[in-house]
A and B are shown apart, each in its own frame.
Chain A
């Protein structure tokens, strides 16, 4: 349904989106995840034909965003970061205007407006001025506006930002209902959002694609494996941190070791295992056999939050080393 290939968007001085490729199947609900300024909004703006890409292509339902923007626009519903509402209009009047703008025929418009009013639970404010509505209601009017013409693809930029917890739950519920018939991309920097409502996640950071996988796989990828925090006593400047790091990395079943900031001569490591491997016993043995003090050893769970941080941090580190070498 959505196919993005080598998409790059460059502004005057910065590269907002750098060579991103992904595909989304029909009926899927995909979370677009990244820290602020990662390029989520820019990517969405390219998909909605608001901005042209610098290079690369984006296809929606088989239509190219640059070559056939009208066809694309007919098939998408878009909720930008701030709901694009006119404060001087009444809710029903506004939906009517947007519906006509999206080429709904005058015969169908009244029915469609009633339908989305019901769907987004804003029927009780249908004759109120949008300017007088609370943020949560405005957001829902924004969603109603995006789905009024029953588009194939829904693109929602941070649909739950600024809402209270109850409203967030309502919007999630609404999204779940919509997921069957529409293909949905929603962006967010809140991880629980993705865990709750998405099937797949696309993680981007600093304009680059970091990971793309199903939510289940992504959490399994690290939850199925084990993460262990180890504290090693290092009295008298012994053992040497890099030596410990080296030894730990050689333990069988270890996928990676991260050294934390040392505290009072104690060295802290976080060790991740390969999928399905138990490493605690081996790690303990390695430390003790080397004659070092093993102060603590405990398992830590990895949340999607950690995965996200690790993935985006790893990305950053790589870039720093690359930058360092070139200097």
Chain B
């Protein structure tokens, strides 16, 4: 456990010593802020219009009309940020030769992998944290329901953990960060598109693909529903990705 924390701390330190952490946080804050602005503006305009027409305002909810689409939007934006978080994890260690230090120290592969994944996870949480500024504003001036917001964040965290684990795996396969980032980006994009293509197709094959698409499992969370199958899906995907990462590292030694 100590080793995991040690490596996690080192990872975080590396992220924040380089501009990457700040760039990601600023980039996410900007895009999310823009989404927040448009969603809030539309809702306010809509309620004004309703009042000017002399009608009673229709039932409106901050949760349904602002928070839910916004956090859904955040989950899509995250797909694009995740490759930038994970691409360096192993590729950089390999190109710098520091992987030799890690692999000849008395820590095992699993500890290194989990430490690195946890470090990536914490940076991802910092990035996601930027969105809480906007959400907090809604709580300051409105009365949204807290529980579905928390559930949606849980979904974002699980989805992120899943994609980060996949990204870490891809990073072990190369010493070139650009390749690691590019392939991870492509995989994220593919998972996103899969959920689109198969959304209205209910034949057997399509529903399997749809089920495997990491994005579709987020939908229930965004509605404020925790479904066991989604949680199990995410946790097992994380476990599976980290497991094949450890296999990849093992094979690295035999091939290298």
Q: Which of A12, A49, A50, A70 has its CB near the most chain B CB atoms (within 10 A)?
A: A50
User: Please, how many angstroms separate the alpha-carbon atoms of A84 and B3 in the complex?
Assistant: 18
A76, CB-defined interface residue at 8 Å: yes
**Nearest-CB distance from B65 to chain A (Å)?**
44
A102, CB-defined interface residue at 8 Å: yes
Mask: chain A, 97-111; 1 = CB below 8 Å from B; 0 = not? 110111100000000
Q: Do B104 and A145 touch across chains, with their CB atoms under 8 A apart?
A: no
Residues of B in contact, count (CB < 8 Å):
26
**Nearest-CB distance from A153 to chain B (Å)?**
12
* Interface hits, B21-54 → A, CB 8 Å: none
Contact of A101 with B256 at beta-carbon distance under 8 Å, contacts A84-B100, A86-B98, A88-B17 already known: no
Q: Do B104 and A48 touch across chains, with their CB atoms under 8 A apart?
A: yes
Q: Do B106 and A80 touch across chains, with their CB atoms under 8 A apart?
A: no
B133, CB-defined interface residue at 8 Å: no
A89 contacts across to B, CB distance below 8 A? 13, 17
* Interface hits, A47-100 → B, CB 8 Å: 48-52, 70, 73-74, 76, 78, 80-89, 97-98, 100
Q: Do B106 and A52 touch across chains, with their CB atoms under 8 A apart?
A: no
| A interface majority secondary structure | loop
Pick the contact of A84 from B7, B17, B96, B107 — CB < 8 Å? B96
Pick the contact of B101 from A74, A88, A98 — CB < 8 Å? A98
Mask: chain B, 1-17; 1 = CB below 8 Å from A; 0 = not? 01100110010011001
B104 contacts across to A, CB distance below 8 A? 48-50, 73, 76, 78
B102 contacts across to A, CB distance below 8 A? 101
* Interface hits, A148-185 → B, CB 8 Å: none
**Nearest-CB distance from B106 to chain A (Å)?**
4
Q: Do B253 and A50 touch across chains, with their CB atoms under 8 A apart?
A: yes
**Nearest-CB distance from B241 to chain A (Å)?**
24
Q: Do B106 and A73 touch across chains, with their CB atoms under 8 A apart?
A: yes
Contact of A101 with B105 at beta-carbon distance under 8 Å, contacts A51-B256, A88-B14, A88-B18 already known: yes
B101 contacts across to A, CB distance below 8 A? 78, 80, 84, 98, 101, 145
Pick the contact of B6 from A82, A84, A85, A100 — CB < 8 Å? A100
Mask: chain B, 102-124; 1 = CB below 8 Å from A; 0 = not? 11111110000000000000000
A45 contacts across to B, CB distance below 8 A? 100
User: Please, how many angstroms separate the alpha-carbon atoms of A145 and B6 in the complex?
Assistant: 16
B96 contacts across to A, CB distance below 8 A? 82, 84-87
User: Please, how many angstroms separate the alpha-carbon atoms of A22 and B176 in the complex?
Assistant: 37
A76 contacts across to B, CB distance below 8 A? 104
User: Please, how many angstroms separate the alpha-carbon atoms of A82 and B96 in the complex?
Assistant: 8
Contact of A52 with B97 at beta-carbon distance under 8 Å, contacts A88-B14, A102-B106 already known: no
User: Please, how many angstroms separate the alpha-carbon atoms of A83 and B98 in the complex?
Assistant: 8
User: Please, how many angstroms separate the alpha-carbon atoms of A318 and B131 in the complex?
Assistant: 72
Pick the contact of B106 from A70, A87, A145 — CB < 8 Å? A70
Q: Do A84 and B97 touch across chains, with their CB atoms under 8 A apart?
A: yes
User: Please, how many angstroms separate the alpha-carbon atoms of A163 and B100 in the complex?
Assistant: 21
A52 contacts across to B, CB distance below 8 A? 253-254
B3 contacts across to A, CB distance below 8 A? 101
Contact of A101 with B97 at beta-carbon distance under 8 Å, contacts A70-B108, A88-B14 already known: no
Pick the contact of B98 from A70, A74, A85, A103 — CB < 8 Å? A85
User: Please, how many angstroms separate the alpha-carbon atoms of A82 and B255 in the complex?
Assistant: 20
Contact of A51 with B105 at beta-carbon distance under 8 Å, contacts A80-B100, A84-B96, A84-B100 already known: no
* Interface hits, B57-108 → A, CB 8 Å: 96-108
Chain A minimum-CB-distance residue to B18: A88
Chain B minimum-CB-distance residue to A106: B2
User: Please, how many angstroms separate the alpha-carbon atoms of A97 and B5 in the complex?
Assistant: 11
User: Please, how many angstroms separate the alpha-carbon atoms of A176 and B97 in the complex?
Assistant: 27
B98 contacts across to A, CB distance below 8 A? 84-86
User: Please, how many angstroms separate the alpha-carbon atoms of A74 and B2 in the complex?
Assistant: 16
Top 4 nearest A-B pairs by Cβ distance?
A: A84-B101, A88-B17, A73-B106, A48-B104
Q: List 9 A-B contacts (CB under 8 A).
A: A52-B254, A80-B100, A88-B13, A88-B14, A88-B17, A98-B101, A101-B102, A101-B107, A145-B101
Q: Which residues of A contact B (CB under 8 A)?
A: 12, 45, 48-52, 70, 73-74, 76, 78, 80-89, 97-98, 100-103, 145
Task: Beyond the given A49-B103, A89-B17, please list 16 additional residue pairs across the A-B interface where CB-CB is below 8 A.
Answer: A12-B255, A48-B100, A49-B104, A50-B103, A51-B253, A73-B105, A78-B100, A80-B97, A80-B101, A82-B97, A83-B97, A86-B14, A88-B14, A89-B13, A98-B101, A100-B2
